[in-house]
Amino acid sequence: MFNSTLRRGFVLLASVSLALSSCGRTPASAAPNLSALAAAGEPVINELYYDSPSTDVGTFIELKGPAGASLSGYTLAAFDTAGTQYRTITLSGTIPASGYFVVAQDTTVPSRTLVNAGTDLNNGAGSLRLLKSTTIIDAVAYGSPTSNRGEGSSAPTTGAGSALARVPDGSDTNANSVDFKVQVSTPGAANGGGTGGGGGTTGKKVLFDLTKAEDAGNADWRIDGAYSDYANALRGLGYTVSSVTGTSITSTSLSGASVLVIPEPQNPFSDAERAAIQSFVQNGGGLFMITDHRVSDRNNSGWDSPEVFDGWDGSTPASVSSTYQASLNSDVTFGLNASFNSSFSDPVLTATPLTTHPILSGVSSAGVYVGTSVDVLAGTALMGTGGKTYLAVNSVGTGRVVMWGDSSTFEDNTLSDGSTGTYNNWPNLSNAAMGKNIVRWLAKDL
């Protein structure tokens, strides 16, 4: 905290700065960093979601403060990378009982308190200040603005589909780089805890299966291959990410895990493996099944991923041991079926939300490139198009399951053998938000 003399001086400097900014100029002597904490009882800027995928929709600014406190006389001032003020948002109303005041770009934002299109801030780098009259109450800079109008060193930039949030809520050490983490957006709700943010996920284990030839042929669904960006994004949320290797999944290999991801398996599961996975889910685990289209047999075993999930179709391969015929039996075991009747091999469907769900937070659409639709026998269809479902969820026992119809959606652009992949969807589609949301929901962190 400043002493009273320093605070008065800083308020005067802020007044001069804002006056000049309104004329399109900033003073050459403007202080590059703001080191004052908000006074006791004042709100703080708690979360920024300023860069949604594609055309920005659903952006917001969240304040955290005392329930019932009036925001009359408060404004938010946005500055570009050069420190020039380009926007003022006038606040009104009171902070809800939750303690979170959400200024939303539009009505798609849940838990919104006030709607103002000005919350669509500059992507990349900039600063935002909370003012009470001309007094600076709180400030945050993100990215690498040439003129930092935040507190201390700036917070990281988010990239499309993620939010910048104080972790834990309301924390203020006078350094934006310390206080703010990149995480999935949580308007009107608590932010994540632990290193890197992520909804309290620190240390939870996510396993990617590699026992069923998921890297066979021209597939490369490995966390050190085509799914490396996906794995790194999950690590950025605080998860521990590793692979299940060998030839089978057992209760021992699943011990301590929160989520199991099975991406386009090429070999069937045995009755014992199915029992271990079913027990894992029944007892609180999360299962993410990622399928592909029919006749996507990468290792010439006679099995494609829809068949591995649903069970032997009676024709290919020609004969199967009784121990493997049911394989994962996902329609009966988990209520979600990789359709044998609705596969496609070329580009490009755009799946859109069919309902509201935490997995769809920040997601307006997802590209579906090569895959199959999902038959929802029990559970909820979340995304689809043309009467087909491509993302569905269900709760089984105390656990949760998700099935997605496209194996390439979460791929990066470099395969583990050094060659270049067909798609580069993870960084630049709304699937970035969706992939992280799926795992957070399965781990019960969302």
Domain ranges of the chain: 4-183, 205-442
Q: What is the pLDDT of residue 54?
A: 67
**C-alpha Rg value of the chain to the nearest Å:** 24
pLDDT digits 0-9 by tens, 154-189: 998 887 778 899 988 888 888 898 888 887 788 888
Residue type, 212: K
Using DSSP, state whether 119 is helix, strand or coil. helix
CATH class of residue range 4-183: mainly beta
Return the higher-pLDDT residue of 151 and 20.
Answer: 151
Q: What is the pLDDT of residue 228?
A: 80
205-442 CATH: 3.40.50.880
- With bands split at pLDDT 50, 70 and 90, how would you rate the model's confidence at 223? confident
Closest CA relative to residue 417, chosen from 224, 262, 229, 207: 224
Residue type, 170: G
Mean pLDDT calculated for residue range 420-429: 37
Q: What is the pLDDT of residue 446?
A: 77
| pLDDT over threshold 70, residue 425 | no
Residue type, 115: V
CB contact set of 300 (below 8 Å; sequence gap of 6+)? none
Q: What is the pLDDT of residue 410?
A: 67
Closest CA relative to residue 286, chosen from 186, 212, 395: 395
Mean pLDDT calculated for residue range 241-258: 93
| pLDDT over threshold 60, residue 26 | no
- Token pair listed for 233: 């994004």
What count of residues does the chain have? 446
Please state, in angstroms and as integers, the Cα–Cα distance from residue 158 to each residue in 90, 253, 297, 303, following that order.
25, 34, 38, 40
**Residues pairing with 367 in the sheet:** 350
Contact of 254 with 278, CB cutoff 8 Å: no
Closest CA relative to residue 159, chosen from 45, 53, 48: 53
CA–CA gap between residue 430 and residue 361 (Å, rounded): 10
